Structure 1
Amino acid sequence: MNNGSQEMKKDYLDIVLAVLKEAKAPVSIHALYSRAQELYSAGKISQMFSTAEDGTYYPVWLALKNKEDLPFVQVSQRPITIALKEYALNAKSSTPAYGRIETHHERLLHPLLAHFAYTKWGAHTKTIYHEKALKGTKGKNSWLYPDMVGASLPTKTLSPPCANL
């Protein structure tokens, strides 16, 4: 036991190990129940989790958090995936693309959009930064994203005024 917490129950650990052995690859802790259900329906394991589907991952997460001595290791953080130790080295070297999430702020895309709007349509654009509004209740006066406006002046397509009027 670690930090006074309970270790993962043996029957629960046996089901997790059966799922990992069958997969021979990393498995998301949120997919443990469905994978175990498939094995149980196929008769490959003799017991099923006693907890509800949405709570199946919690004992695994808690064991990883408490750094218990387990026959499997955590391979990635988001989503949390686990693998047997013999498969973990291969899994860590070939981290799947979905494990890396790049985030871009909308504000960083405004110069690119402004350039595109000007070169394609001759539109002049302006970014309006209004993340903090002066009116409104506290916590509800924040804008998540800046706005952008544009105007195009079609002076090239206008014909000269008629002098005969």
Structure 2
Amino acid sequence: MPPSKYTFLDFAQEILKSAPKPMTFQEIWEFGKTSGLDSKLSITGKTPWQTLGARLFVDIRDNPETVFIKVGRNPARFFLLSRKDEVNPDDINYASRATKATEGKKESSFGFHERKLHPVLAYFAYTNTSFNRGKQVYTKTIYHEKSKHNSLSEWVHPDMVGFYSPIDDWNGKLLEFNKATDKTAIRLYSFELKKEIDRSNYRENFFQAVSNSSWANEGYLVAYSIQQDDDLLSELERLSASFGIGVIILDLDDIDSSQVIFPARPKDYLDWETMNKLCEQNRG
């Protein structure tokens, strides 16, 4: 029998066994790189530290048998469950949903309406500095059922849109100067929300996000659950790097633990024709 594949979770576990304190995923990666443990990994993506963070976050949240715990937030640090007595118990964020995963998975493909995720994303976009870089992003739901539909409007409407305006952050004279240039300081965001991403639907969901976000500065695929599957996460990372669409995972039990697992690639231009089409189809 061939030896089992050395995974990012194996990598993190090996480092945290001897780490003097909890570490961020970036610190885990840098320590492993310095010690040469990264050579044991089969790395295909360009941002392995992001892959490591995604693996840890999803494992803690969705795996009832995870060996990891999350300590604190902003930034979250990781440690081993077997070493939990070495940290302040008030700082530990246990696997909020993993402990209830068995019951949760029994719900018929997650028994809630997808729009339950919308206020969670709105809060995340406004408050999470790892996403908004300290600039509050305001969001709005697009009600597809109220839109004008035709055969050419499929995969045009995002579920939510967001924007950031520097009006509260910039000097008034600078705002006036910006108006005189052909560069807008407003940043626009597109979000495609799904309850679950798994092997059966990830491509359709991802390319729906690609299609629906072509007009925006940044586009994201947002999910409540991503299947525990290293190959699936690797493929999402590859698609994210290729097409520039970010991936966000939301936590309904601990909203502040929601996380960008793969960042979007920002664009400096806006597709005004597509935005006009969206406005025309969503008047009123």
TM-score, length-scaled by structure 1: 0.44
**Which protein has the larger Cα radius of gyration, Structure 1 or Structure 2?**
1
TM-score (norm 2): 0.27
